[in-house]
Structures are given as C-alpha cells and as structure tokens.
Amino acid sequence: MALLAPSPRALCVREAAAAAASPHPHSSAACSTVGGGAAASGRSLWLWSGGGRGRRRERGGRVRAEAYFWDVSKPVEMEEIDSMEKLDDALRWSVENNQAIVIDWMASWCRKCIYLKPRLEKIAGEYPGVRFYFVDVNKVPQAVVKRGNITKMPTIQLWKDGEWKAEVIGGHKAWLVMDEVREMIQKNK
C-alpha cells in the first residue's frame, strides 16, 4: 500500500529583493492565497534557492513564497516484472509509445528497497505518461537480472526506446534518491 504524505508546493514566488521593495506583503497580482498554514496567517515561507542538494545556502539566494498548496498527486501501484517475457513486454511498450519506463530492481530482504517503493509509487502519480515497474531479483530468473546489469540494490533504471538511459543506485538518503529519480525522468521524458 502506498503512503501519501502531503508536501508544500509554492504557487507564487518572488525574489527577496522584490519582496522587500513592496510595501504590501501580498502585492503581486499573480499571487493568490490558498487556505491554511503560513499563507493564511500572513507569514511567508522562506525558501533557499541555488545549487546543491538543498543543504547549501548562498547569500542572496532567498526566495519568498506567498502562498502554497498541498500536493494532491495520487500514488500509482507499480507493476511487477517476474519473467523475461514481462520485461520484453514493458520494453516493447516503451518503444511503441515512445515513452520512458522506470524499473525498480529490489529484493524483499532489502530494507532500503522496501522503504523506497511507496515513494516511487508517489512519484509515479506525478508522471502519468511514464510507467513504473518493479523486479524482485530473488523471484526472477538470473537472466533477467543480468539483462538489467544489476550489481547493487536498490537500483532504479530509466529505459526508453528499448534501451537503458540512466540509473540511480539508492544506497543513500531517500530524499536524495527521489530527487535524483525526478531529475532522471525530467531529462529523459
């Protein structure tokens, strides 16, 4: 079962310099207040922009978000690939529809794999044109694992036009893995 955890998304963002110059906190015509949280109470959310993985804060890189809403994308259950035929079918679908597919290579004994699966299902809800699959490496013939060239788990691969395009090996923090998966999908959509 996939978990749906709400996450804030900014509707209206202005740079800190523009926000400071404005006498009214909600003066931008493009902004609208969506109920709840900091926006409704008159407080603003401060976000840090700039390079890096979200930990580095650069001077002058502050951005002000004046309104936000909760992410309402619904998780999509990933399909299981349990044979070479199903892997071939998934790759054939990718070629015929000129769409990317994401394959999560995991094992039932791998805690990190089990932890990442519902988060990948959440990402699947954000990209309706991309199909998401998972392969339990202990339940498939070794030839399937060799075809994916899997050496570590979890490994999340993106395939397009029947060819491997990119992968993320998820041995680090889950939020970093999810950011890298989103980036991988955006680049290869």
Q: Could you say which of 113, 123, 156, 168 is catalytic?
A: 113
CA distance 26 to 124: 34
CA 68 to chain centre: 19
- Choose, from 110, 124, 130, 144, the residue flagged as catalytic: 110
Beta strands 131-136 and 163-169 are unpaired
Active-site residue, 12 included: no
> How many Cβ atoms are within 10 Å of 149's Cβ, its own excluded?
11
d(C-alpha 162, C-alpha 125), whole Å: 23
The whole-angstrom separation of Cα 120 and Cα 129 is 15
Those residues with Cβ within 8 angstroms of residue 38's Cβ, 6 or more apart along the chain or in another chain: 44, 45, 68
Query: Quick one: tokens of 165?
Result: 């395009």
Instruction: Confirm whether 31 is a catalytic residue.
Output: no
Enclosing H/E stretch for 183: helix 174-188
Active site residues: 110, 113
